[in-house]
Amino acid sequence: MWELIKANQRRSVMLFVVMGIILIGLGFVFGMVFDHKHTGGGAITGIIIALLVWFILSLVAVTSGSAIMLSASNAKEVTQDVHPQLFNVVDEMRIAAGMSKMPKVYIINTDAPNAFATGMSPDNAAVAVTAGLLARLNRDELQGVMAHEMSHVINRDVKFMTIAGVMLGSIVIISEIFLRSMIFGGGSGGSRSKDGGGQAQAIIMVIALVFAILAPILAQLLYFSISRKREYLADASAVRLTRYPEGLASALEKISNSNIDMPMANKVTAPMYICNPMKKKGMKMSDLSSTHPPISERIRILRAMAGGAGLANYQSAYSQVKGNASKIIPGGELKKAEDIGIRMGIAFEVKDNKTTARSSNDIMMKVDNYAFINCDCGMKLKVPANYSSNEIMCPRCGTRHEV
Amino acid sequence: MSTLGIALLVILGVIVLLIFMVIGIYNSLITLRNQVKNAWAQIDVQLKRRHDLIPNLIETVKGYMGHERQTFEAITQARSNAMNATTVAEKGQAEGVLSGMMGRLQVAVEAYPELKANQNFLALQEELTSTENKISYSRQSYNDQVLFYNNKKQVFPSNIIAGMFNFADEVFFEIQDQAEKEVPKVSFS
């Protein structure tokens, strides 16, 4: 595991360097455009402004990124009694991964099945799942999803995505500011450059415009390609933790079968979820600009895993399904040829749509502090938290219950 | 400076470097050994949880499963054996027996539909399933740590330092009972 994290860090540094160069280049070129006297001071100012934007965004993301993500998705922190099984499963994965602290657990009140994890380090991690996910998945499937999410934290993917996301954000913001200033203030700059007699100025202007358009696209492609790789890696790590590829595979299948959109997800938070929460019709998930690999492919790789649950087994299943030799797992980790068996699955009852909908509703009510009272006649009373009287009557048999 | 002075400085430099290397390796061995101990403590916590849950479980199911008196007695016996085990190997043996019996009880429960409708029992069953999982995941994590530590101990140059300071090999926690690894058989006759 440690080698995996180290290899990840090496890869990340490469990406950060490239993105940093793009960022500084942007600052430089834009500064040049506004530097009418050609003193070179403009370029430096441009670089300083670019770095300043990046610094401020980083500060916000590192100190409160997790809190922003959780509140943007309407996640509520819950206690063990709301969903004991969820807590048990998270604890199991914590133990399997050798994490010292239990992550905080959040539930999002929506019927769309999805989940995400946040936290720059394993010590301040949090996992969030939707009520719809809890209602649809059985124990083994839930375990697979939680293992995937916690792998993101352990592999430091959350940290990486935050830092890379901030760099991407800075590049987008600076390009946007430049393009807008060209539209609104372009006239004055243009007229003055004529007096300065600069064909050079015009050339710089064209270069800057091309840069402003291309840089964000380039940065995004870079960001997305690494983001997809990390999804595969998190799948591989999850199977290594649970020793049960079918759990995650059938969970992904159930998640992809649902076509409910998450209203609380947006373009910024989408890469954090286990599956893309915004399923636009007609959009191909396999295109270059998607943050997640196509689900069907992830499922096929998981189901192709034979002979073991180790990282090397995932790699060979990946090569087999994709038909190419690109590496998901860093080399050092592959050489360690671990002999890890796949465990047995447990048989679960299949839930029909009605039961699923009902249990999804129940979970949402529990999150909202509803009291549940079982009447002797078999009726289940669900009392909202703001119910004022301290007694309630069963509508079927008329028994009075204390609230 | 004379050539002798330079030579002395070089030798001194090499010695300082060596000392730092030894300290570094020694510290990483200690860290790894502590991680092994930590992982073992995790297993212990989970085993104790199981020991605590068993009387509770038997109390709940006793009324429903009158015919399984022998199973209960065997489980109680296996539980006290497991609680008295001290060494890693002994524990592996005794807990293996207990695991096998718990598995058999889980299968036997299938024959009692009214038990499966009992809310109390369902909650207990979730706790039990989770505890069994936690035991096997903490065992998995412990064995991983032992592997890291033993590997580090055996490769050059840390094997020299390990030999100098008498670092002992750690033992893997294996489940001895083969029955536990097999699939429980359910018959519908």
Q: Is the pLDDT of residue A282 over 50?
A: no
Where b means 16+ CB within 10 Å and e means fewer, A56-79 reads ebbeebeeebbeebbeebbbbebe
Low pLDDT (below 70) residues in chain B: 1, 175-189
Determine the longest span between alpha carbons in chain B, in angstroms: 96
Closest chain B residue by Cα to residue A85:
B126
Same domain, A244 and A377: no
Least confident of A144-158, A197-211, A237-251, A339-353: A339-353
Same domain, A284 and A391: no
Q: Is residue A361 part of a domain?
A: no
Same domain, A161 and A277: yes
Least confident of A53-62, A183-192, B1-10, B93-102: A183-192
The catalytically annotated residue of A3, A77, A141, A149 is: A149
pLDDT at A351: 72
- How far apart (Å, rounded) are the C-alpha atoms in residues A36 and A24? 20
Closest chain A residue by Cα to residue B132:
A92
Is residue A395 very low, low, confident or very high in pLDDT (cuts 50, 70, 90)? confident
Domain count, chain A: 2
pLDDT digits (tens, 9 = 90+) for A298-331: 899 999 887 777 888 888 888 888 877 677 776 6
pLDDT at B165: 83
Q: Is residue A364 part of a domain?
A: no
Same domain, A392 and A259: no
Do the beta carbons of residue A27 and residue A50 sit within 8 Å? yes
pLDDT at A285: 47
Joined together, the tokens standing for residue B45 give: 């916590």
Q: Which residues 6+ apart lie within 8 Å of A380 measured at CB?
A: A372, A373, A374
B141 closest CB neighbour out of A98, A143, A346: A98
pLDDT at A62: 85
Q: What is the mean pLDDT of chain A?
A: 81
B126 closest CB neighbour out of A88, A98, A374: A88
Same domain, A275 and A374: no
Same domain, A251 and A373: no
Q: Is residue A362 part of a domain?
A: no
Same domain, A307 and A374: no
Q: Is the pLDDT of residue A335 over 50?
A: yes
pLDDT at A191: 45
Q: Is residue A134 part of a domain?
A: yes
Q: Is the pLDDT of residue A90 over 50?
A: yes
Q: Is residue A39 part of a domain?
A: yes
Interface of A with B in 88-107 (CB under 8 A): 88-89, 91-93, 95-98
Same domain, A273 and A387: no
Closest chain B residue by Cα to residue A345:
B183
Is residue A289 very low, low, confident or very high in pLDDT (cuts 50, 70, 90)? low
pLDDT at A125: 92
Q: Is residue A176 part of a domain?
A: yes
- Residue A263: asked if its preceding bond is cis (omega within 30°), the reply is no
Is residue A104 very low, low, confident or very high in pLDDT (cuts 50, 70, 90)? very high
Q: Is residue A237 part of a domain?
A: yes
pLDDT digits (tens, 9 = 90+) for A19-37: 889 888 888 888 888 776 6
Same domain, A249 and A377: no
Same domain, A377 and A276: no
pLDDT digits (tens, 9 = 90+) for A128-154: 999 999 999 989 999 999 999 999 998
Residue A338 is among the residues annotated as catalytic for this protein: no
Q: Is the pLDDT of residue A189 over 50?
A: no
Provide the H-helix boundaries in A107-198: 131-136, 139-154, 157-195
Same domain, A347 and A376: no
Q: Is residue A363 part of a domain?
A: no
User: Which residues of chain A neighbour B127 with C-beta distances below 8 Å?
Assistant: 84, 88
The arithmetic mean of pLDDT across residues A163-191, rounded, is 76
A396 lies in which domain range?
369-402
Question: B39, A98: Cβ pair inside 8 Å?
Answer: yes
Sign of the torsion formed by the C-alpha atoms of A117, A120, A123 and A124 = negative
Same domain, A374 and A339: no
Q: B85, exposed or middle or buried, with CB in 10 Å at 0-12, 13-18, 19+?
A: middle
CA A139-A144-A145 angle, 5° bins: 100
Query: ipTM of this complex > 0.90?
Result: no
